[in-house]
Every structure is written in structure tokens, then in C-alpha cells.
Amino acid sequence: MFFLGAKKTFFRYNIKLNLGKTYEIMKKLLIFTTLCLFLGACHHHAPRYNPVVRIKYSKNTANNRSNSSSYVSITQNPWQYMLNQIDANVPENGRIKAERERLLRNPKGFETVALRSEPYVYYIINQLRRNNLPAELALVPLIESAYDPLATSPAQAAGLWQFVPVTAREYGLQQSNSFDARRDLIASTNSAISLLQNLNNRFNGDWLLTLAAYNAGEGRVRKAIEKNQAKGLPTNYWSLDLPTETMHYVPKILAIIDIVKNNKRYGIKLPDCNYENSLVRIDISKNISLAKIAKYSKLSLDELTTYNAGYVQQTVNGPFHLLVPYTHAHDLFKKLQKENLVANEITELLQDTPHANKPFEFRSSFIQSNSIVSRDNFSRNEKKIAYLVKAGDSLYSIAKNYRVKITDILQWNNLKNSRVQEGDILTINLANANPI
């Protein structure tokens, strides 16, 4: 991502000047500088148009953002992963500043909504990663629905991504008396990604116009562009006459990106997510009410209804998948299995982001490559992982947990002593470890 900046002109004089010539040149430079400042001031005070601020992502944006020192796996903390992916320099645009100030008036409210993303954001960010889309797009549901799958707008937009009925039908989201795919995490996220990709292609990679079209519709943005073209005016997002909501929508997203990127400066605490709270899928073999499932689990009916908001009658039917947090899945699966209510094993939604049987690890293959690696590139026998040190960890506890020697960890990471601190990333080679 980069922003269009002002061009700088450099002058180099490599001639020897006597004092008289020096005086003449200095006088010309002074006149030239004054003229430049005058012209710049005229441009700055031109009527109603903000300076062009354009965010651009290459088609391989996600491929260019990881590095060995800051990479944090999605399974460990998706918000930290997103933070490490952001390389935008959000400008001090007046409209962005106004939205940021509005958001920061209630920092606790912002933190609460951000934390609400925890069950869903793992899948969303991983799907964005798989499709080479900016991780910041996971902030769209933050604005659209406050990460509430049950949210419905006055225009009948529904779900995390707030699809209106006509767009939902266009992108294959089923709506019936029993199931509304707009409220389903898996279906709605995949359709939202398709919509964003299509819009971005149609607007030649301009993400500001893409987001404006996501909010207002492609047709409205096209008309605004054509209107400006007919008048010989700029056609960038900041110059368009769009609906009031859309005029606030894009600056708000940019403001949130800035808040996330500079969360410490603004005193905002990003969610410390736990993979055990992310959703996994259990395939159900027959119709069953969520109320009955609640009796088999430690989850309330309200919680099950929120995670499975697509089932508008609170009964699991087609597509017959149940979403529950990882931490509750195994016990619930066993109880449902005894009643012959399950069809398959538990399916983790981040299937191509390996973490073996430990939810807080990721393969060092990610670290060693700047490209996003697809599932097919991984060996099923891969045993080298990277571990993000958490508060309270020690080399002793880490070594004990992975059944390796402390001396091995020291050797694999070129450590001179056993001191580690929160945020350190350690390589652990399980394949070559000496058993304890």
C-alpha cells in the first residue's frame, strides 16, 4: 500500500562560481522558490477537492508483507497478524481525522467490538490470506455489523458482511425460511471476498473506490465518476460526490486502520485472542434444534444461535454444519456421536494453516518465505514450527511442553542464554529433537 506524494525536484550545480555569479544564482533561486510556494498555496486552497490520497495494493499484496522478525501466525493472534501486515501510511486527511477522533471518544467501545470478532476473525483473515487480499479488509465487518452475525440494517442488509438481498442472490447466498446464508460465517465470508475481488478488478485496483462501491453499490460510484469526467474533474474517491454514508465510510475504515496500526499511541488495547475461542465445524447428520444441542454442551442457546445465525428457525438443517468454539467441540462431538447425530470428524476452518494438535504454533516455513504458501506446498510430515513466547513462558516450560531439550532450543535459535521474553519467536524442530 502506498500513498501518492508530492514530487520533489533536485537541482545540482557542479560549476565553480565567483562571488558575482553566486549572487545572481541565489537571487534566481529565491525568485523560483517564492513562485513554487505561491503556486503550491493556490493548489492547496483549490475549492472542495482534497489532495489525492490513494491506497493501492498490488495483486500479490499479501505476498510482500511477512518478515522473520514480526510474523505472527493467524492461529496465535489474528489481530497481531493483521497488525504485522499493515504497511499503510494513513495521511492526516481532514475527513479521516474526524472519523478517528469520533472513534477514540469511546476507546472501550472500540475494544469491545474488536473483541467480539474473536470467534470469526480467524476464518476471515485466513480466507483473505488465501486469496491474496489485504488483511485490513477484516475490519470491514467491524464497521458493517460490529461483528454481530445477527445484525440487520434498515435496508435489510444482514450478517457480518451486511449483504442486501439482491447482492446476496447475485453472489449465491441462499435465503429461505429455514436458512439465511448471509448470516453464515463461511458462506458470507466467501461471497464477500468474491464481491471485493470483483469490485477491485472493475475499479482497476483502486481500493478506495472498491470500498466505496461495497458500501454504496458499483452503479452509484460509476455515476459519480462519469459526472466528474463530464465536468473535467478528478475521479479519485476524494473528489466524488457520493451518498453521505459513503463519504464517511471509507475515511472511517482508514481511521480504524490507523488506530490498529498505532494502537499504543492511541491507548487502544487490541484483542488478545485465544485460538480455543475460534469456531470449528461439526457436520450434523439430521435435523436437530439448537436448544437440544445446548443441552449436550456448556454453551447457552444464545451463544449457539449467534455462532449459527444462519439457521433462522434455530434448527440445524441444510447445510447441516454446526459452528462451535474449538474449546467446546470435542466434548460436544462425543455426545452427539453417541446419539448418531454427526456425519464426520471435527473440521477446523483453518485447515491450511497447520498447528498440529497445539493451537498456538505455526510452521517456520511461513517465516522463511515471503510468499503465502498454499496447502499443497506443505509436507504432512513437517515438524519444524515457530513458537511465539507468551507472558509467563520460560525455556523450561516450553521445552517441557514440546518434549525437547533446553539445549536444543538454544542451539536452534542461536541463543547465548535461557532468557526469553513475551513476543520472542522461537524455532522448535520436533523432528530432530532428542526425546526426554
Active-site residue numbers? 144
* Residue 80 near residue 138 (C-beta atoms within 8 A): no
| Angle (deg, nearest 10), helices 244-261 and 207-216 | 130
Beta carbons within 8 Å of 96's beta carbon, 6+ residues apart: 90, 251, 254, 255, 258
Burial (CB < 10 A; 0-12, 13-18, 19+), residue 48, is exposed
* Residue 349 near residue 186 (C-beta atoms within 8 A): yes
Residue among 148, 178, 150 at smallest CA distance from 288: 178
* Residue 276 near residue 326 (C-beta atoms within 8 A): yes
Taking the C-alpha atoms of residue 429 and residue 179, their distance in angstroms, rounded to an integer, is 46
- How many residues are present in the chain? 436
Residue among 306, 270, 259, 263 at smallest CA distance from 115: 270
Phi, psi of 419 (to 5 degrees): -80, 125
* Residue 179 near residue 320 (C-beta atoms within 8 A): no
Taking the C-alpha atoms of residue 104 and residue 399, their distance in angstroms, rounded to an integer, is 42
Taking the C-alpha atoms of residue 52 and residue 418, their distance in angstroms, rounded to an integer, is 51
Looking at residue 403, what DSSP letter applies?
A: T
